Amino acid sequence: MRADCHMHMVLDAIEWRSAIARHNPVPDEPWIREILKTYQDLGFTYLRDGGDRWGAGVKARELAPEYGITYRTPLAPLCKAGHYGTFIGEKYENFKEYAELVKKHRANGADFIKIMISGLMDFDRCGVLTEPGFPAGEIRELSYIAHEEGFSVMAHCNGAPTAIAAAQYGVDSIEHGAYLNDEALHAMKEAGCIWCPTLSTVGNLRGKSRFDECAVGAILKTAMENVSTFAAMGGIIAPGTDAGAWAVPHGSLTEFELLREAIEGNADAVMEHGTQAIIDRF
């Protein structure tokens, strides 16, 4: 059994604007069927979508059983106005609006809540994020409100301080998790927080000349070292590719190779355990 614990049906790994346009105003069913078939042919039986506001993930969830796939979607990810993620998610200005969106997601059948609580990596500069993470108190509120509605929380989260707050306040899975440190890894281990490192989003950039190759290599190295440390601690690591992101095609298997490279010995058992943890909580 194969699972991708982080992918985006709405994206196509080539160009996000035209990818999104394909599903606007209505999701492109033949295209979605083709992608689901790709996953089925590769033996995938579980997909967790990172969300989109055009309904591509919802359409995929509706069709997935025909392909023997269990499909989970947060509907649109919830993003704070003026911060990373608004290209794909629904915006909120304050906690009140966020809580209303969480309630709306409940009514509309979301499987979990996806939040964006940090910027993303600057692939030309190792160690640099496009914006810092949210303050701890804000992460606490976002996590609390979603849990109160009975949802698990998937968080786009980079940087050690942000991951520490996310783990401390019960975020169920940390996505990407660039630039963690031992303190963050310990906090995540203690909290039983699942880490979905999406190494392919960096690994698949190698040799593409789109970004500084040195920086890409260095970013990947730090991430793989952290994965190795977290695995040695007994932390929960789930395979998720972020398929749809640039250079990560649907059905990409790079993530499994990179995790096997980073986790010595029992990588397959670690991935299986992480996948089961995602299935149980999402």
Contacting positions for Zn ion (CB under 5 A): 50, 242
Query: CB–CB of 71/49 below 8 Å?
Result: yes
Query: Cβ 96 to Zn ion, closest distance in Å?
Result: 26
Smallest gap from Cβ 57 to Zn ion, in A, equals 11
Measured from the CB atom, the residue of 4 and 242 that comes closer to Zn ion is 242
Q: Quick one: which H or E segment has residue 47?
A: strand 44-49
Q: DSSP state, 129?
A: B
Query: Which residue minimizes CB distance to Zn ion?
Result: 50
In angstroms, what is the minimal distance from the CB of 95 to Zn ion? 24
Least Å distance, CB 198 to Zn ion, is: 7
Closest to Zn ion by CB, 99 or 204: 204
Separation of alpha carbons 186 and 7, rounded Å? 26
Task: Specify the 3-state DSSP secondary structure of 112.
Answer: coil
For Zn ion, the closer of residues 242 and 255 by Cβ is 242
* Cβ 121 to Zn ion shortest distance, Å: 12
Q: Which is nearer to Zn ion, 50 or 161 (CB)?
A: 50
- Cα–Cα distance measured from residue 119 to residue 134, given in angstroms and rounded to the nearest whole number: 9
Tell me the C-alpha to C-alpha distance, in Å, between residue 211 and each of 42, 96, 186, 191. Answer: 30, 39, 31, 35
Nearer to Zn ion, 51 or 235 (CB): 51
Q: Give Cα 147 distance to the centre of its chain.
A: 18
